[in-house]
Structure 1
Amino acid sequence: MSMIGGARSSLGAPSSKAVRFQLDFNLKANLLKHANREDCQYNELVQKIKDHGQDIRDDDLAQLLKEARGCISLLDDNFRLFVQVVLILEWTHRSPDVISEYQGFLLDLCAAHNYYTKHVIDQFIASFRRGGPGEWKDGLPSEEGVNCFSHIHDTIRQLLKVVPMSKDILISAIKSSVPFYKRPPKDHESFVYNALQISKYLPSERYGLLKVIISHLTTLDVNSPRSSLEQRETPCSMDVDSVFPMDDIIHPVAFNLDVALNVLFIYCKDEVIVADKVNMDKLKSLYHDLVKVFEDVVLPTHATQHVQFLIFYLLGLKPSLAPHFIGHLWNKATDPNIPPIIRQSAVCYVASLIARANYISITTTKATITEISTWIHRYINSQDEGSANTPYVDTRVHGVFYMTCQALFYIIGFRYKELVNNQGLTMLNSINLQKIVTCRLNPLRVCSPVVASNFASIARAYQLAYCYTIMERNQRNNLPIVNREAGSSVSTLMSIQLDSFFPFDPYLLVRTKKYVETYYREYTEPNNDEHGKKTSNEDEDDFLEDVTGTSAPTNFSYSSSPGFLHIQ
Structure 2
Amino acid sequence: MTNKQVGSVNLDSGSDILYYYNKGHPDAVFKYKQICNVLLSVDSWSEKSKNEFFVQFFDSAHRFLQPTELLVERLCNVSWSSIPQPILPQFVILLKEIAVTHVYHTKVIIERFFNVLLPIVDIYVSEVKENENPSDTTPVIIQPSITIEQQILFTNLSREAIVDIIGRLHTAQEAVVEIAFKKFPHYSGPTFKFTEYIKQLILIAESCPDIAQDLWMKIVDHILQIDAIISKSVANNATFDAGDSLFALEEENMTIDSPMRQREIDLTNKLDKTMIIVLSRIAKGKMDLSKIVPGEDFSWLNQLSSVSDSCIFEQLWPAFMEQMLNAHDVQSVSFIWFFACNLEEKYQSFMLKMLWRLICKPVFAPNEWKRAHTAAAFLGGFLARAMYINFKTCTDWLKKMADWCNEYIAKSGLCRNCAGCIQHGTFYAVVQSLLFVFSFRYKEFVENNCIKDIHAWGLSRIVHSHFEPLKYISRVIARGFATISRRLQLVYCCHILDSSVIISSPIEHYLPFSFLQLPITSDVVAPLLRKFQPTDDDADIHVDMMEVDPRKHTVVEQDEDDYGFMDMEDDEVGMDIGQHSNVTTTVAAILSSSPFSIYKARTH
TM range (shorter): 0.7 to 0.9
Question: What's the counterpart of residue 508 of structure 2?
Answer: 499
- CA–CA distance in 2 between the matches of 1:529 and 1:228? 29
Task: Indicate the residue corresponding to 2:517 in structure 1.
Answer: 508
Query: Residues 18-69 of structure 1, C-alpha deviation per residue, up to 9 Å, x if partnerless?
Result: xxxxxxx85556667976444966655544432343x555554333221123
Counterpart selection for 1:424 from 433, 444, 450 = 450
> 2:388 is matched by which residue type in structure 1?
Y
What is the CA–CA distance in structure 2 between the aligned matches of 1:199 and 1:308, rounded to whole Å? 20
Give 1:258's aligned residue. Answer: 272
Partners in 2 of 1:144 and 1:122 — Cα distance? 20
Structure 1 CA distance, aligned partners of 2:167 and 2:233? 49
TM normalised by structure 2 equals 0.71
Q: 1:51 aligns with which of 41, 50, 59?
A: 41
Partner of 2:299 in structure 1?
none
SS in 1 for 2:351: helix
Distance of 1:427 and 1:94 partners within structure 2:
75
Separation of aligned partners in 1, 2:82 and 2:520: 30
Superposed CA deviations along residues 500-545 of structure 1, whole A, max 9, x for unmatched, are 0112111112333333112112333552348524854427848999
- 3-state SS, counterpart of residue 552 of structure 1: helix
Deviation readout 1:333-368 (Å, 9 max, x if unpaired):
122246332221111110011111111111111111
TM-aligned CA deviation for residue 453 of structure 1: 1.0
| Counterpart for residue 435 of structure 2 | 409
Change (3 A) 1:65 1:162: farther
- Whether contact under 8 Å (1:355, 1:414) holds in the other structure is yes
Residue 307 of structure 2 is aligned to residue 286 of structure 1: no
* CA drift at 1:320: 4.8
Question: The residue matched to 1:153 in structure 2 has which SS?
Answer: helix
Q: Displacement, 1:267?
A: 1.9
Establish whether residue 342 from structure 1 lines up as the match of residue 332 from structure 2: no
1 CA distance for matches of 2:542 and 2:309? 41
- In structure 2, the CA distance between the partners of 1:121 and 1:342, relative to structure 1 (3 Å rule), is same
Equivalent residue, structure 2, for 1:200: 206
**Partner in structure 2 of residue 241 of structure 1:** none
CA contact (8 A) 2:420 2:505 kept: no
Cα distance in structure 2, aligned partners of 1:235 and 1:142: 33
User: What secondary structure sits across from 1:538 in the alignment?
Assistant: coil
Correspondence list, 1:320-469, <5 A: 320-337=346-363, 339-383=368-412, 385=413, 387=414, 393-469=419-495
Contact 1:220/1:257 (8 A) holds in 2? yes
Does the 8 Å contact 1:406/1:448 carry over to 2?
A: yes
Residue 161 of structure 2 aligns with which residue? 155
Seq. identity, % = 18
Paired residues of 2:359 and 2:376 also in contact (CA < 8 A): yes
Write the distance in 2 (CA, Å) between the matches of 1:343 and 1:522. 26
Does 174-183 or 353-362 show the bigger shift?
174-183
Determine helix, strand or coil for the equivalent of 2:598.
Answer: coil
Contact 1:59–1:98 (Cα < 8 Å) also in 2: no
CA distance in 2, matches of 1:447, 1:40: 76
Say if 1:555 and 1:51 are closer, same or farther in 2 by CA, change over 3 A.
farther
Distance 1:61 1:300, change over 3 A: same
Map of 1:184-195 to 2, 5 A cutoff? 184-195=190-201
- Is residue 428–residue 507 contact of structure 2 (8 Å, CA) maintained in 1? yes
Q: Displacement, 1:429?
A: 2.7
Give the Cα–Cα distance (whole angstroms) in 1 for the partners of residues 106 and 510 of structure 2. Answer: 47
1:553 corresponds to 2:570: no
Check 1:444–1:164 CA distance in 2 against 1; reply closer, same or farther (3 A cut): closer
Alignment correspondent of 1:519: 528
Structure 2, unmatched stretches of 5+, are 3-11, 123-140, 142-146, 241-256, 291-304, 544-571, 582-588
Q: 2: CA distance between counterparts of 1:348 and 1:469?
A: 26
Q: Does 1:126 find its partner at 2:115?
A: yes
The match for 1:220 is: 226
The alpha carbon displacement at 1:163 in A equals 4.2
Letter of the 1:426 partner, please give it: K
RMSD of Structure 2 on Structure 1 (CA): 4.0
CA 1:163 to 1:400, structure 2 compared with 1: closer, same or farther past 3 Å?
closer
Residues 234 and 250 of structure 1 are in contact (CA less than 8 Å); yes or no, is this contact kept in structure 2?
no
Give unmatched runs, 5+ long, in structure 1.
3-24, 136-140, 238-248, 480-493, 561-568
| 1:92/1:325 CA distance change after superposition, 3 Å | farther
In 1, the alpha carbon distance for the partners of 2:347 and 2:100 equals: 46
Amino acid in structure 2 at the alignment position of 1:379: Y
Aligned-partner residue type, residue 371 of structure 2: I
Q: What code does the residue aligned with 2:341 have?
A: L
TM-score (norm 1): 0.75
- Alpha-carbon distance between aligned partners in 2 of 1:102 and 1:348, rounded to the nearest angstrom: 53
Q: Whose RCO is larger (CA < 8 A, sep 6+)?
A: 2
Worse-matched range after superposition: 30-39 or 309-318: 30-39
Deviations 1:127-159 (A, max 9, x none): 1234589x9xxxxx9665443221112222333
